Structure formats: structure tokens, C-alpha cells
């Protein structure tokens, strides 16, 4: 695997292996199979791949019906269509009915780039997190995703995978032979002054900020948190006990997702000052990721500012 490896390629190859191993696995697309690359599965699995067209809510209902008959559906489309358009079907037809499905929502947050505000999901995790039993996962990089695919497909119930289609920076290397756990956050660097809990594309930003802060004598503990629900409260609370301050970094609205989950855990277990680097009361807009990071205050400088502010709040 190289820095040019696309996450969608890693996911599709993992899905191919899953389909080869289990004839009950079926894949449903909504006119975007070429975007994710699941169309490459069509020749080998013509009877288990379905393109339902631009009809996402119906796609989820079909998946629920397939699950009720013992199949294992994997649903793929852009994240806003997988969540906003399908909230009721996910809640009632899948979760409430105790059906199984892996929902893959691609182009999370500002990764939607030039597709603009209508296609930019900054609320998807917040919408789904309150559904009982749902698992919400956002990969840190392609290496981690490849390692965790078997665990994702092994889950019962509803799993939402918030997938970047392209090639965000590699945080891990295959040579590390690191052991990943879907339900365990990963402490990347240890520190004593502040804990930075980051998710998805913001992990690299958090590490970069921590490196810059180290030059100023500020010691940061950086945690890559790939699963927002269920949150690994034990790791985060233990780190907060050590540092006494927390900054969350996410490619999402500040309400309802990582910040909210971390604050809930800390409030009940070990209250400390918290600051957030996330989208605040903004809709998405057209632009490349670099522009959107600046416009939505998700850059390295924003993490550094949040760290300094939260450290002051400790005293």
C-alpha cells in the first residue's frame, strides 16, 4: 500500500473477499457504483449486485427486506444521501426491526469538495448516533481500514461507515503490523499537557499541530478515534485524567458527533475543560479541501489555538 492508494479501492477489494467467502452478501448501489468502484464487482457477482437508481430510501427498505430473509446487505452511496434521505428507513426498517446492514456513506464532510453544500454531510453522525445499537466508524487511513474490514462485516445490526473515497495521508504503515480493534481508540503519541482526540482526516492535522506545539514546550497526547459509537470512553477518560484538558477535532458539525460523545463521557466520568475544532453553525459550500479547511476553521493553526485556550482553562 502506498500514499496513492485510494480508500475506495481498499474497501471494494475487502468487500470482494467478503462476497467470495459468503454467498449471502449482497451489494446495493444508488446510481453511484462507478464513483465508489463497486461496479467492478458486477461481472463476478451479477446476481448479488443491484443498482436501484436514484432511490436511496427504497434502497434501504430493499436491504431491510433482504436482511429479513437472511442476506447480508451492504449499501453504498454518498453520505448525505445515505443518511439525510434515509433516516426513517434506517431507524425503523433496519435498526428497530433488528435487521443487519453495512451502510457506506462516502465523501464525508468537507471531502465532498466541489459537489458543494447539498452534498456535504456535516451532520450525518449526529443524525445517526442516537439510534439504539448502531455502530459508527470513520477510518483513519487506508491501512487501518484494510485491517478493520473483517471486523466491520462481522458486526450484527446496523453499521455506518463514513468513507473517504480518495487517499488521505497515511498515518500507519503496513510494516508496523499493528493490531487494530474496531472498538478501541488508538493513542498515537503520549503527552502530559493536553489530550487531542481526532477522527478521520483530522488525525493528520492533530499530529501536525502536536509536533508544532512540542517546539513550544507543550506536550500533547494524540488519540485517533475511529469509532464514534460506541465510543472508547475508557481510553479517552484515562487520557483526560492524565492531561486535565481535551481538544476534539472532527470533519463534522461540532454538535452531535465526536465533540458531543467525548463531552458526554467526560461529564459523567471526569469533567475537564474541552475545546473543539469542527464546523460551527455553517452549511457546506463549493471548494477544494484546503479552502474549506480555512473557511471552516479546521486547519493546524486552529488546533494549536484550541490547545492553548483549553490549557489556560485548566488554571
More confident residue, 138 or 175: 138
The pLDDT, as a whole number, for residue 146 is 95
Say if residue 37's pLDDT is above 90: yes
Q: What are the tens digits of pLDDT across the range 151-168?
A: 999 999 999 999 999 888
Question: What mean pLDDT do residues 28-48 have?
Answer: 96
For the chain, domain boundaries: 7-163, 183-313
If one looks up domain 7-163 in CATH, what number appears? 3.40.50.970
Q: In terms of Cα–Cα distance, which of 194, 120, 196, 132 is closest to 162?
A: 120
Tell me how many degrees the CA angle 207-213-219 measures, rounded to the nearest 5. 85
The pLDDT, as a whole number, for residue 57 is 97
The pLDDT, as a whole number, for residue 174 is 82
If one looks up domain 183-313 in CATH, what number appears? 3.40.50.920
Q: What are the tens digits of pLDDT across the range 190-249?
A: 999 999 999 999 999 999 999 999 999 999 999 999 999 999 999 999 999 999 999 999
The pLDDT, as a whole number, for residue 175 is 81
Residues with Cβ within 8 Å of 74's Cβ and at least 6 positions away in sequence, in order, are 15, 18, 25, 26, 27, 28, 101, 102, 104
pTM of the full predicted structure? 0.96
Task: Give the pLDDT band of residue 3 (cuts 50, 70, 90).
Answer: confident
Residue 75: phi and psi, rounded to 5, are -105, 130
The least confident of 23-32, 102-111, 172-181 is: 172-181
Beta strands in 89-157 (DSSP E): 101-106, 135-137
The pLDDT, as a whole number, for residue 161 is 98
Task: Give the pLDDT band of residue 111 (cuts 50, 70, 90).
Answer: very high
Phi-psi region of 217 (alpha: psi -120 to 50; beta: other; left: phi over 0): left
Q: What are the tens digits of pLDDT across the range 122-148?
A: 999 999 999 999 999 999 999 999 999
**Coil, strand or helix: which one is 189?**
strand
Rounded CA-CA distance 171/200 in Å is 10
Rounded CA-CA distance 254/36 in Å is 27
Task: Give the CA radius of gyration of the chain.
Answer: 19
The pLDDT, as a whole number, for residue 133 is 97
Say if residue 308's pLDDT is above 90: yes
Task: Give the pLDDT band of residue 2 (cuts 50, 70, 90).
Answer: confident
Rounded CA-CA distance 223/275 in Å is 15
The single-letter DSSP state of residue 170 is P
Q: Is beta strand 135-137 parallel, antiparallel or unpaired with respect to 186-189?
A: unpaired
* Residue for grid cell 483530522: 202
Q: What are the tens digits of pLDDT across the range 270-297?
A: 999 999 999 998 999 999 999 999 999 9
Helices within the chain (DSSP H only): 7-21, 33-36, 56-68, 79-83, 87-88, 124-128, 142-153, 202-214, 233-243, 258-269, 289-295, 300-313
Say if residue 1's pLDDT is above 80: no
The pLDDT, as a whole number, for residue 177 is 83
Are domains 7-163 and 183-313 of this chain identical in fold? Answer: yes
Question: What mean pLDDT do residues 42-60 have?
Answer: 97
Question: What mean pLDDT do residues 37-56 have?
Answer: 96
Written as nine digits, the cell of 87 is 433516516
Rounded CA-CA distance 151/204 in Å is 24
Amino acid at each position: 500500500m502506498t500514499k496513492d492508494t485510494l480508500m475506495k479501492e481498499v474497501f471494494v477489494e475487502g468487500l470482494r473477499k467478503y462476497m467470495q467467502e459468503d454467498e449471502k452478501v449482497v451489494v446495493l448501489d444508488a446510481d453511484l457504483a462507478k464513483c465508489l468502484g463497486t461496479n467492478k464487482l458486477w461481472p463476478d457477482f451479477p446476481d448479488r449486485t443491484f443498482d436501484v437508481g436514484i432511490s436511496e430510501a427504497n434502497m434501504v427498505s430493499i436491504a431491510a427486506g433482504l436482511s429479513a430473509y437472511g442476506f447480508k446487505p451492504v449499501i453504498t452511496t454518498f453520505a448525505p444521501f445515505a443518511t439525510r434521505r434515509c433516516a426513517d428507513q434506517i431507524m425503523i426498517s433496519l435498526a428497530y426491526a433488528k435487521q443487519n446492514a453495512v451502510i457506506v456513506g462516502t465523501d464525508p464532510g468537507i471531502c465532498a469538495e466541489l459537489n458543494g453544500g447539498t452534498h456535504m454531510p456535516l451532520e450525518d453522525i449526529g443524525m445517526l448516533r442516537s439510534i439504539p445499537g448502531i455502530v459508527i466508524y470513520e477510518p483513519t487511513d487506508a491501512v487501518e481500514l484494510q485491517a478493520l474490514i473483517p471486523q466491520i462485516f462481522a458486526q450484527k445490526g446496523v453499521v455506518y461507515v463514513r468513507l473517504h473515497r480518495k487517499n488521505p495521508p497515511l498515518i500507519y504503515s503496513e510494516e508496523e503490523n499493528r493490531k487494530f480493534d474496531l472498538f478501541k481508540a488508538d493513542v498515537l503519541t503520549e503527552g502530559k499537557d493536553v489530550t487531542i482526540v481526532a477522527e478521520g482526516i483530522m488525525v493528520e492535522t492533530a499530529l501536525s499541530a502536536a509536533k508544532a506545539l512540542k517546539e513550544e514546550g507543550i506536550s500533547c497526547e494524540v488519540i485517533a478515534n475511529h469509532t464514534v459509537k460506541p465510543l472508547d470512553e475508557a481510553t479517552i477518560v484515562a487520557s483526560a485524567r492524565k492531561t486535565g484538558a481535551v481538544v476534539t477535532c472532527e470533519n463534522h458539525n461540532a454538535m452531535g458527533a465526536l465533540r458531543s460523545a467525548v463531552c458526554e463521557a467526560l461529564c459523567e466520568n471526569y469533567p475537564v475543560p474541552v475545546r473543539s475544532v469542527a464546523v460551527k453553525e455553517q452549511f457546506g459550500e463549493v471548494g477544494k479541501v484546503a479552502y474549506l479547511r480555512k473557511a471552516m476553521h479546521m486547519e493546524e493553526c486552529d488546533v494549536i489555538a484550541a490547545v492553548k485556550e483549553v490549557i489556560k482553562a485548566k488554571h
